[in-house]
Structure 1
Amino acid sequence: MTKSSIINDLKSMGLTGSETILIHSSMKAVGNVEGGADTVLDALMEFFADGLLLLPTHTWKTVNESNPVFDVSNSESCVGILTELFRKRPGVVRSLHPTHSIAAFGRNAESYIAGELSCNTPCTPGGCYDRLKDVDGKILLIGVTHARNTYIHSVEEVLNVPNRLSDKPMKLSVIDNSGNSHTVYMRKHYNASQPHISEDFVKLAQAYIDCGAARNVMFGDAPSVLCNARGIFNVTRHVLAPAPECFITEDVISSERWADFPGNEFSQE
């Protein structure tokens, strides 16, 4: 695969390059690309030059009570090679969220990621993740499932779903781009019954497709999913509002939960 073929894959999804889009990715799943991960980033940044390209640069795996410092310039991303390389590129800016930062490139990048120092949860309502629904944002899952779709956590936080966050916050330090240190208090994702709650997000995969909030696409060799953030929010709310614990308590979420949802309201065709 080449940069041109990757750009063609994006065009074949119906994307124009002017979108605000958050990308979760597995470079391994993409396959053999001439130039590797850098070529993939070249293609993404060229294609979305008139839009806003967002990649997660999370540090929840390394920033914690025993290692309480997040340095926005130097703390490595723990969610894949594309995200780590992306945050270091010229023109890319990174939010100051100590555990769930986002790197941004393109239209109004700095204003989009602003204000994350005031967050006290991984996906605080009004923060970078929650904003996606308000700007008609897209989410592209490249070679990964909804188990890696952090946006669903933000829906849970907006809905105030119980038993999703630790009771006590961590005291952390954030070092900004100027070298200044800021003290923040951050809760983390936690559920006593299911320590990896996001693994259950895949239970809604068919609901998202049936309701037009997501559709299956290809990116290189990677089976991928293109989502509409507002659609994901509304379908998730439709299912969780009457039964907030259904991710945990049910092996399969019945199709009856979304049978009366307006079909194709969020079609991305």
Structure 2
Amino acid sequence: MRTTTTPTSPLTPATLAEGWRKAGLEEGMDVIVHSSLSSLGPVDGGAPTVVDSLRSVLGPTGTLVVPTFTWQVTDPDPDHVGVPTSDVSKRRASVPDFHTNLDTTSMGAIPDTVRALPGSVRSTHPQASVTAIGHRATEITSHQTLGFALGPTSPFGRLHDLGGYILLAGVGHDRNTFLHYAETLTPSPRLKLRRFPYTINGERVWVETLDVGNDNGRHFPTLGREFEEQAGIQEVIVGNARCRLIPVQALVAFSVPRLTELLATDTTSLPGSQIHSS
């Protein structure tokens, strides 16, 4: 079933809030939002209006979370082994160090708006941080290991334990980071190597850690569609965007065994068979 709030004029905070409520968003929820601002259509005030509308629905007891990944904090020469040449050293020296004010424009205008808000809190992983604002912002972002940054010892694990939700606003399950979280719980996850600069006791070093690999649209769209069908998830059109509100715990409970089956029959997804750098 699909309901719509297709605009005839630019979306306002009130019309957006009405759409979020129709999608199932309620006061007090802890919600991670994966979004595309352009998919909504014209918005009066742009990304800040969208963020304000989400916060108004969640209220003072809710928490808004967004991915603020920083793809620019990565090794520009991941395949170079051994002592770097002068050119490799120069390229690696140009890679920025992570800090909590580092921009995340590659993730879109809505995440970067949340990151810049006074009172927002950001986790500290150099590549896979999230930013939160609201009642449980500090609790959600306070711990994230360098290795398996999307796993149980991360903001995603905390959102799962809190019974949080995922709002897909104009994007599909290929953008749903919680499917990576689910993969960390499978017996034989696909793996990748993260490599990034990190400062320890004033010395900048390059760190290598393992994490779950990229799906690249292979299984996650199918997995998400199957879950929505069996769970009866209702799609709502907000502006021009297809939106779904998904309970984290139910999604993970479905996805771990189903993804285990999919990976077991996929010979290209054997653990470690395609480890690459990120």
Q: TM-score range by the shorter chain?
A: 0.7 to 0.9
Alpha-carbon distance in 2 for matches of 1:181, 1:102: 25
Q: Which position in structure 2 is the counterpart of 1:264?
A: none
- Whether the 8 Å CA contact 2:73–2:196 is kept in 1: the answer is no
Matched, 1:106 2:134: yes
What's 1:35 paired with? 45
Counterpart CA distance in 2 for 1:134 and 1:232 is 13
Map 1:206-225 onto structure 2 (within 5 A). 206-212=225-231, 214-225=233-244
Alignment correspondent of 1:62: 72
Query: 2:195 matched to 1:170?
Result: yes
Alpha carbons of structure 1 residues 16 and 174: separation in structure 2 relative to 1, 3 Å:
farther
Matched, 1:124 2:151: yes
Asked whether 1:197 is paired with 2:216, we answer yes
Residues 247/126 of structure 1: CA separation in 2 closer, same or farther (3 Å cut): farther
Q: 3-state DSSP class of the match of 1:154?
A: helix
Distance 1:228 1:181 in 2: 42
SS at match of 2:19: helix
Letter in 2 for 1:165: K
1: CA distance between counterparts of 2:266 and 2:237? 27
Give SS of 1:133's match. Answer: helix
Amino acid at match of 1:120: G
Q: Do the aligned residues in 2 keep the contact of 1:18 with 1:52 (CA within 8 Å)?
A: yes
Aligned counterpart, 1:9: 19
Q: Which amino acid aligns with 1:126?
A: T
Once superposed, what is the RMSD of the aligned Cα atoms?
2.6
Structure 1 segments of 4 or more deviating over 4 A?
180-185, 245-250
Q: CA deviation at 1:129?
A: 1.1
Deviation at 1:174, TM superposition (A): 6.0
**What residue is the counterpart of 2:246 in the other structure?**
227
The residue number in structure 2 matching 1:237 is 256
- The answer to whether the 8 Å contact 2:120/2:131 transfers is yes
Match of 1:90 in 2: 118
Aligned to 1:186: 209
1:53 aligns to what?
64
Alpha-carbon distance in 2 for matches of 1:69, 1:245:
38
Change (3 A) 1:72 1:43: same
In structure 1, what is the equivalent of residue 36 of structure 2? Answer: 26
Could you tell me how far apart the structure 2 residues matched to 1:53 and 1:174 are? 29
Alpha-carbon deviations, 1:29-76, whole Å to 9, x = none?
0111111111111111222232011011011x2111232621212243
Q: Is residue 151 from structure 1 mapped to residue 178 from structure 2 by the alignment?
A: yes
State how far apart, in whole Å, the 2-side matches of 1:171 and 1:39 are.
34
**1: CA distance between counterparts of 2:132 and 2:239?**
23
Structure 1 letter corresponding to 2:254: V
Bigger Cα Rg: 2
Note if 1:73 corresponds to 2:101: yes
Structure 2 contact 191–210 (Cα < 8 Å) conserved: no
Paired letter, 2:186: L
**Alignment partner of 2:151: what SS?**
coil
List runs of 5+ in structure 1 lacking aligned partners: 251-269
Q: Which residue of 2 aligns with 1:262?
A: none
CA distance in structure 2 between the partners assigned to 1:243 and 1:25 by the alignment: 27
- Residue 161 in structure 1 maps to residue 161 in structure 2: no
Whether the aligned pair in 1 keeps the contact of 2:236 and 2:243 (CA below 8 Å) is yes
